Amino acid sequence: MFKRTLLFLVLFLLILPSCKTTNLYRSDKVKHIYSKKNANDTVKIGIVLNTNSVSVGASREFYVFDAKNKKIRFSKGFTTVSAFNNKIKVGNSILHAPVKIKASNQMISVNNKIYRGHLSIVGSGNKANVINVLPIEYYLRGVLPKEVSASWKKEALKAQAVISRTYTIKNISKHSAQGFDLCSTVHCQVYDGANSEKSSCSEAVDETSGEILTFEGELAQTVFHANCGGHTDDPSYIWNMKETPVYLKGVKCKYHSNSPHTYWEVSVPENFIVNKLSSHKIGKIRSIKVKGTTATGAAKKIEINHSKGILLLNAYAFRLAIDPSKIKSHMFTSIKNLGNNFYFAGKGWGHKVGLCQWGAKDMSENGSDYKQILLHYYPKTKLKYFSNK
């Protein structure tokens, strides 16, 4: 009996250390992306949606395969692809969807932009969706230069590569109802194919290949913003998160030495603000005031005193409603009524949650590596490594 108990105890202790990673390894998302079988076929990105027609081609020969095993060979050049009664028309041939188009050099052109991997084209009525199917690491090469400046130090780029990879996998089923994983706009992650690739960013992707940020065995929510204004913030004030993950609570950011976004100011016409808030049916604005601030100095609410009453808005929602490119943050240092205009001044750029990109840049210039950068902005998270090699 004692021997059996001892055996169970030993087995239990052997199994225990692996429990922490069990959730992640079992996650279908990670498993699919880093399995050998799917190595060349891991993410499906909707690059042209609901289109009447697109120009597709390659600088080498390329092949078109339809759902009923019909195969057409094209020598280099371009052809027109459109949808017709749920079928796909390629050149003069009407084919059954989904149609796969693959070039011999794995570089395919869609409306004069080059994409790695291959295309899958589906039709709904007379509209086609063009989906780029490619390995996740190649996809990230096209994403990174859109998220960060390619001239920044390698360690800051590597931190961003881990963030983008983690985000990709965490959101992989965002567009599953439409037959692809992620779209190529700001709704998911901006992706412009191989044309936008920069060697420094591609190296950062390669050097962190397969690395994902996790917390307690789950993929972390790797949100980020341009410039925190001195301290990142708890997301509970701006997003309706019931429980804030401990790694997103907000950290001090002593950096931003050269950032052009640390201080900003703008004058916005009063009638522009009234128009933007038209759903609230406000009258002439008398004053705009900050109502309550977070521990880091960001506004919680904005109070608008107008001729028809008082409107109280979430400060982050106010910024998004007016124009987030004009009002760069909800960390106001001054709001003044100038008559026909309102003057806003503030600190930072973005929502202040998660990694601060300009802080990460300065950390990299001060000698921190990407792991130190990630741990600073997402404390208590862990890097995990996956490989399909």
Binding Zn ion (rule: CB under 5 A), the pick from 81, 356, 373, 375 is 356
- Is 350 a binder of Zn ion (CB under 5 A)? no
CA angle 164, 170, 174 (to 5 degrees): 105
Q: Which stretch binds Zn ion (CB under 5 A): 7-15, 85-93, 98-106, 253-261?
A: 253-261
Distances (CA, A) of 251 to 153, 198, 224, 345: 22, 31, 13, 23
Closest approach of Cβ 19 to Zn ion, in Å?
A: 34
For Zn ion, the closer CB: 97 or 183: 183
CA–CA dist 36, 89 (Å, integer): 33
- Is 162 a binder of Zn ion (CB under 5 A)? no
Q: Which stretch binds Zn ion (CB under 5 A): 54-62, 109-117, 265-273, 349-357?
A: 349-357
Residues 363 and 190 sit within 8 Å (Cβ to Cβ): no
- Is 187 a binder of Zn ion (CB under 5 A)? yes
Give CA torsion, residues 272, 277, 281, 282, to 10 deg.
-60
DSSP 144-167: HHHHS-TTS-HHHHHHHHHHHHHH
For Zn ion, the closer CB: 123 or 359: 359
Closest approach of Cβ 330 to Zn ion, in Å?
A: 15
- Is 183 a binder of Zn ion (CB under 5 A)? yes
- Is 228 a binder of Zn ion (CB under 5 A)? yes
Closest approach of Cβ 255 to Zn ion, in Å?
A: 6
For Zn ion, the closer CB: 89 or 231: 231
- Residues contacting residue 240 through CB under 8 Å, at least 6 positions apart: none
Give the dihedral sign, CA 71/74/78/80. Answer: negative
- Is 159 a binder of Zn ion (CB under 5 A)? no
For Zn ion, the closer CB: 354 or 359: 359
For Zn ion, the closer CB: 228 or 268: 228
For Zn ion, the closer CB: 57 or 229: 229
Residues 245 and 234 sit within 8 Å (Cβ to Cβ): no
- Is 48 a binder of Zn ion (CB under 5 A)? no
Q: Which stretch binds Zn ion (CB under 5 A): 83-91, 155-163, 246-254, 265-273?
A: 246-254
Closest approach of Cβ 195 to Zn ion, in Å?
A: 20
Query: CB count, 10 Å around CB of 202?
Result: 21
- Is 143 a binder of Zn ion (CB under 5 A)? no
- Is 331 a binder of Zn ion (CB under 5 A)? no
Place of tokens 């410039």: 227
Strand 107-110 vs strand 99-103: parallel, antiparallel, or unpaired? Answer: unpaired
CA–CA dist 361, 378 (Å, integer): 16
- Is 114 a binder of Zn ion (CB under 5 A)? no
Binding Zn ion (rule: CB under 5 A), the pick from 114, 201, 253, 373 is 253
Residues 90 and 64 sit within 8 Å (Cβ to Cβ): yes
Which of positions 301-330 make contact with Zn ion (CB under 5 A)?
Answer: none
- Is 188 a binder of Zn ion (CB under 5 A)? yes
Q: Structure tokens of 251?
A: 């950290």
**Interface residues toward Zn ion, by CB under 5 A:** 183, 187-188, 228, 253, 356, 359
